[in-house]
Amino acid sequence: MFEYQHIDSEGKSIDLPVGKIVCVGRNYLQHINELNNAVPSMPLLFIKPTTALCELTQSVVIPKNLGPCHNELEIAVLIKKPLSKATTQEITAAIWGVGLGLDLTLRDVQTALKNQGHPWERAKAFDSSCPMSQFVNINEVEKLTALDFSLHVNNELRQLGNSQDMLFSILELVANISNTFTLLPGDIVMTGTPKGVAPLSVGDELEIELKGHFSIETDVI
């Protein structure tokens, strides 16, 4: 059953609907290099449906018998006002806050789809493919361009990111996205993963931190 709601730092539900998730691929140079992809001249976009959302504080469920399911930890931006062909000034006023989400990816499925020139949804948009943290209100965020985040798997550092290393900044991404998709209150923008993507295994213990704001412990089942 689908029960996800956006929640705030205190665990209270945020008064916004649950909308689409617009995801950005290839936004950190070192991650582009680890998968031998080309550097994009404009953001690479894809969408996950609302049914991809689930709470990160609950166990992360990985699909079985479909090959490796990779972690991609990303800064998630929660939108509170409609944005269409928006300017950066409009965008700052339209962000509710930021959190962290996992863009779970069936890597072999994605590679096969890529090789056929097909869309990626079967690899990235399945149910519960987007476990999501609480959101920190924008008023509590000092700088969108200096957000540190990390993923530890079984106490070993796997991903370490900082928003200053993005090829396209959060504001540039949202501006660019709003030229193609109108963003509505309750939509989420996933801003791309830093390097360190690798398979998750049943039984893995995860620790996910947005530095200065929160740390979440969860596991993989």
In the complex, the residues that contact Zn ion under the rule CB under 5 A are 72, 103, 193
C-beta of 193 vs 218, nearer to Zn ion: 193
C-beta of 72 vs 187, nearer to Zn ion: 72
Q: From the CB of 107, what's the least distance to Zn ion, in Å?
A: 11
C-beta of 150 vs 193, nearer to Zn ion: 193
d(CA 51, CA 188): 13
Position with the least CB separation from Zn ion: 103
C-beta of 90 vs 104, nearer to Zn ion: 104
User: E strand or H helix at 148, and its extent?
Assistant: strand 148-153
User: E strand or H helix at 124, and its extent?
Assistant: helix 121-124
Q: What angle do CA 210, 75, 9 make, to 5 degrees?
A: 50
Q: From the CB of 87, what's the least distance to Zn ion, in Å?
A: 26
Q: What DSSP letter does each residue of 150-218 carry, written as one string?
A: EEEETTEEEEEEEGGGBSS-HHHHHHHHHTTS-B-TT-EEE----S---B--TT-EEEEEETTTEEEEE
Q: From the CB of 200, what's the least distance to Zn ion, in Å?
A: 14
Q: From the CB of 103, what's the least distance to Zn ion, in Å?
A: 3
